[in-house]
Amino acid sequence: MTETINPSQKVLASVDKLWEEEIEFLQTIARFPSTIEYEGSLQLYLKNFFQNELQMDVETVDVDEKEISSLPGYSPSEWSYAGRPVVVAKAPRNSRESEGSSLLFQGHVDVVSPEPKHKWSVDPWGAQRIGDRLYGRGVLDMKSGVAAMIYAYKAIREAGYEPASDFSIKTVIEEEATGNGTLAAANAGHLADAVLIPEPFGQCPSTAQLGSIWLRIHIDTSSNLQSDQTGVGANAIEKAQSVIEALQSYREYVNRDEQKPPEFAHMEEPIDVEVGTMHSGDFASNIPVEATLEVRSAVYPGKDPAEGKQDLIDWILDKTKDDEWLREHPPAFESFGFHAEGMVMPEEDPLFAKLDEAHELVTGKQCGRQAIPVTTDARYYGLYYDTPVTCYGPSGAKMHEPDEWVDLESVKNVTKVYADFLIRWCGIYKKEGES
């Protein structure tokens, strides 16, 4: 039988009781330098934690590119998948039948590069607590969310309860570059009736997000270089300048009001078009004959990423053709990493109503809605697995920048909201043997 008294207060008190432990757990996982390709040891740590501390049933899913490369949502990866599985932990069902709707909490454990490290005023892997903040690479995006979703479940257990329907926690890899971890685990059947992702966009559920595309652009001027190190227009860095200018004018174009869908109409510049890396030259007295730029652009929901890439390529080719040399030697384009669609979630889904209730109970305030001008793994569930999903997570600042930090009070609130949401969505039992 499902519990008849409302156990929420007991569970929220349990979050308070576990709070210092939760911060220590967050510090522990934040000290793993789990940049892309190096998530393996953290995943192993979490797998053991799920098994030994939470008595969950744990499975791992290795990403098999052959298996997922033909699926919608796949992004071409350049990293080995050896030793860095997705971890899926399921609350044990014991002998009981599942009573209601199933639920999945998901977070990514990969973090972006902390470089330039010397620009940090703290150790990026130190997880230093200063007042109400915790500093470090990935503490905001999104290890605090990972800690919150795990401790929401832990608080329920420690209060003497367990979910009355199927509940699982998934920690995924490579969210920051492809999303293939989520795709592989979803393709392996690890799904649920609803998914919450504690991405750190503040305590406001997302109902729309952008897609993201990456392109690598190669400029090769070697054919123009004379043996005496001269040659008109042979400097690849100077040629790259025209490509960068084309990117800037593309950014201006896609952010014009008439291009914006309604969900993003209120934002001045929703579409970020940026050069992320540029490599060229290796000696002051040599003319650089190769330049490689890695570029990302957001795309609006409803736009096929392949089409987004083609639009961008066509734009660059068109805008650089005033340069005679580039007209005859156009840059080469290579697709890698993000090939991600944008998404809009139907707000009528009960997921949002229940999340509103949990948010109001914990914060005493009403919950808004937001469109987020970035991409997240939520897209897989909403677009390809017909599953209601939203991002709702902690607050902080300097995501992807030096001195990234998370507001600890917001982490505690998110933990409580996730715990209360879990109770509302799954229902809970008194654990066997508890009075």
Nearest to 298 by CA among 211, 196, 359: 211
CB of 316 to Zn ion, least distance (A): 28
CB of 344 to Zn ion, least distance (A): 19
Pick 67 or 272: Cβ nearer Zn ion? 272
Pick 150 or 312: Cβ nearer Zn ion? 150
Q: d(Cα 22, Cα 408) in Å, to the nearest integer?
A: 10
Q: What own/partner pairs with CB < 8 Å and gap ≥ 24 does 271-274 have? A: 271/210, 271/297, 271/298, 271/299, 271/300, 271/373, 272/296, 272/297, 272/298, 272/373, 273/247, 273/248, 273/297, 273/298, 273/312, 274/247
Q: d(Cα 366, Cα 359) in Å, to the nearest integer?
A: 7
Cis peptide bond upstream of 116, omega within 30: yes
Pick 206 or 235: Cβ nearer Zn ion? 206
CB of 36 to Zn ion, least distance (A): 12
CB of 187 to Zn ion, least distance (A): 21
CB of 34 to Zn ion, least distance (A): 12
Question: E strand or H helix at 163, and its extent?
Answer: strand 161-163
Pick 113 or 310: Cβ nearer Zn ion? 113
Chain residues in the site for Zn ion (CB under 5 A): 141-142, 199
CB of 190 to Zn ion, least distance (A): 19
Collapsed DSSP state (helix, strand, coil) of residue 394: coil
Pick 163 or 396: Cβ nearer Zn ion? 396
Phi-psi region at 90: left, alpha or beta (left = phi > 0; alpha = psi -120 to 50):
beta
Pick 161 or 392: Cβ nearer Zn ion? 392
Kindly state the tokens that stand for 432: 């066997």
CB of 175 to Zn ion, least distance (A): 6
CA-to-CA dists, residue 380 to 49, 81, 129, 242, 300, angstroms: 26, 19, 34, 36, 16
φ, ψ (nearest 5 deg) of residue 264: -115, 10
Pick 142 or 383: Cβ nearer Zn ion? 142
